[in-house]
Amino acid sequence: MKSAQSGLVVILAAVAYKVVKKPRKQITQTSASGATVYEEENWFLRAKAVACMMLDASKAVLAQLKDVPRVKKHRLVMMVHSIGDYRSDALKIAPEIQEKEAKGFGCVPVNKKTADDINEFVPFAVMAYDNEDNVRERLSARGYELVQFEPDAIIEMPSHFMAYNKTEKKVLIAIKGTTTIEDVVTDLLCTPVDFHAGKAHSGMLKAATFVVGRMTALLQDVFIPLGYRIIVTGHSLGAGTATITALKLSESFQNVQCFAYATPPCLSKELALKTKGFVTSVTHCDDIVTRASMRNMKALLIAMGNLDQRHKEVRATKLKQTLKDPATLAVINSSAVTDVQLGDQDLFVPGTVVHFHKQGEKYVGNITDGTYTALRRIEISASCVADHSCSGYEACCNPENCL
């Protein structure tokens, strides 16, 4: 048990270290005299501290890691760095790899209606991070009027707003996500709870229950009698909360839709697939949050253990060379997909999923669902944190940036 915890700390720390270390960040400050001061942050120690925090927040699920193989820390770190480099090199040599996986899984190209919808509502998901005055102004420019704004988010009571468009008869609920990647991953490593004959992320379920409680009377008394369509949206943890909010609202109201961006795994398989008719989740490239489930964390550890066993006779200093074996990525991916079974504790990205990947300077969008193999493993890459940004989602949802 202790070795599993230690291994997960090292992997998370190494991933975080990799994505922020190159180039090593320098903080620019101006002193009282006007001189510029550079302070170099020790990102590895910070990343390790963050990883420990994640584990502390997820003690209830650490029992799932008891059978994870033992791998020495220095080899874990080297494998994380080397696999990221290997994948980057592989995509440069054969950029068609991702499209082949999509076609092999049965994904289909995103259609115009879906593309238009996700492009229409992504600004509102991003808007949820702004202050009330800016939100009001930005809504007005898009033909919406602000009805309710809840700015102060506390635990399981997320910041959100409601607005309506009288001309188009749309009432919009936008839910703010978490602002730091540390908080996001910490919150994702939790124990699922019973919900609708399945399982749901406990924190997001409580947050959704809060939002529904705040909105139901207004919807029922004002907007539903006038035939308004209900749209729920959000980014990151706000996307997961938006999904469950839409699911709960659909019990009482018709014509509910959710457009969720950077949606985390938040529902058990049956529930995630059940929402395909009214939830659209968008995932951007290697975004770690869309893959940050305990199952995928465990899969990564098992894959590392399998790889370490395969190369146990190789000295650590030569491990990077052996990872250039063309079969290596296949070993890692197959391990991640097949070796981990968490039963009803396993959570999936909900709804109809639009997954974007880069092809040259443009994006390719494919329609799939939360069982897609590319979402059932953590992609270690230099962009796996940056791909979670709002700007990345605004870019991939813009048809002008897509093939």
Q: For 255-296, give the DSSP string.
A: SEEEEEESPPP-B-HHHHHHGGGTEEEEEETT-SGGG--HHH
Of residues 85 and 351, more confidently modeled? 351
Domains of the chain, by residue range, sit at: 96-293+347-403
Mean pLDDT computed over 252-276: 95
Q: How far apart are CA 265 and CA 315, in angstroms?
A: 37
Mean pLDDT computed over 302-316: 64
Among 28-32, 131-135, 355-359, whose mean pLDDT is lowest?
28-32
Average pLDDT, the chain: 78
* Amino acid letter for position 219: L
Confidence of residue 356 (pLDDT cuts 50, 70, 90): very high
Per the structure block, which two tokens stand in for 73?
Answer: 């820390």
Of residues 122 and 299, more confidently modeled? 122
* Amino acid letter for position 291: R
pTM higher than 0.95 for the full model? no
35, pLDDT greater than 90: no
Q: How far apart are CA 314 and CA 328, in angstroms?
A: 14
Q: How far apart are CA 270 and CA 199, in angstroms?
A: 9
pLDDT at 391: 94
Asked whether 368 and 353 are in contact (CB, 8 A), the reply is: yes
199, pLDDT greater than 50: yes
Mean pLDDT computed over 385-402: 93
Mean pLDDT computed over 53-79: 57
Mean pLDDT computed over 47-65: 48
157 - beta bridge partners?
Answer: 154
Among 50-54, 302-306, 390-394, whose mean pLDDT is lowest?
50-54
Q: How far apart are CA 239 and CA 352, in angstroms?
A: 13
55, pLDDT greater than 50: no
Among 53-67, 95-109, 138-152, 363-377, whose mean pLDDT is lowest?
53-67
pLDDT at 296: 83
Mean pLDDT computed over 121-134: 96
Mean pLDDT computed over 213-224: 94
pLDDT cut 70: percent of the chain above it = 64
pLDDT at 157: 81
pLDDT at 187: 63
pLDDT at 256: 97
What would be the CATH architecture of the domain defined by 96-293+347-403? Answer: 3-Layer(aba) Sandwich (3.40)
Asked whether 261 and 396 are in contact (CB, 8 A), the reply is: no
19, pLDDT greater than 90: no
Which range is most confident: 29-33, 81-85, 98-102, 278-282?
278-282
Confidence of residue 58 (pLDDT cuts 50, 70, 90): very low
